[in-house]
Amino acid sequence: AQSVSQHNHHVILSEAASLELGCNYSYGGTVNLFWYVQYPGQHLQLLLKYFSGDPLVKGIKGFEAEFIKSKFSFNLRKPSVQWSDTAEYFCAVNTGGFKTIFGAGTRLFVKA
């Protein structure tokens, strides 16, 4: 069965630290990849997406992610986090069907 694994459930960083959140999926075919973010008290919203082309994709608020097909990974990065990045981050995979699989989420807390 297809699955998405997010390695860290909780991450605590100080402001200006660099961030990398891991995401691995299990599916051998073509995938479409997403990172969603849920800020406290807000709806889930799209951070960035990869469908095809350049494996390094840029999203909102300075986030980027790199698709590495050989590693089945789609890690999220940000060079310098801010207190306002405190949120829960979800990696999601769609394999072309009408179903998107989400990871369990990573809660990020940024200390001011």
Partner 1 sequence: KAGVTQTPRYLIKTRGQQVTLSCSPISGHRSVSWYQQTPGQGLQFLFEYFSETQRNKGNFPGRFSGRQFSNSRSEMNVSTLELGDSALYLCASSPTSQRGYNEQFFGPGTRLTVL
What is the binding site for partner 1 (CB under 8 A)? 6, 9, 32, 34, 36, 43-46, 49, 51, 90, 92, 94, 96-105
Query: How far apart are the C-alpha atoms of 52 and 36, rounded to whole Å?
Result: 18
Residue whose CB is less far from partner 1, 53 or 112: 53
> CA-based angle 99:105:108, to the nearest 5?
150
Distances from the Cα of 110 to the Cα of 44, 86, 88, angstroms? 19, 5, 11
Minimum Å gap between C-beta 53 and partner 1 is 14
Taking residue 71's Cβ as centre, other Cβ atoms within 10 Å add up to 10
Minimum Å gap between C-beta 80 and partner 1 is 26
Residue whose CB is less far from partner 1, 54 or 112: 54
Residue whose CB is less far from partner 1, 65 or 103: 103
Minimum Å gap between C-beta 47 and partner 1 is 10
DSSP state of 84: G
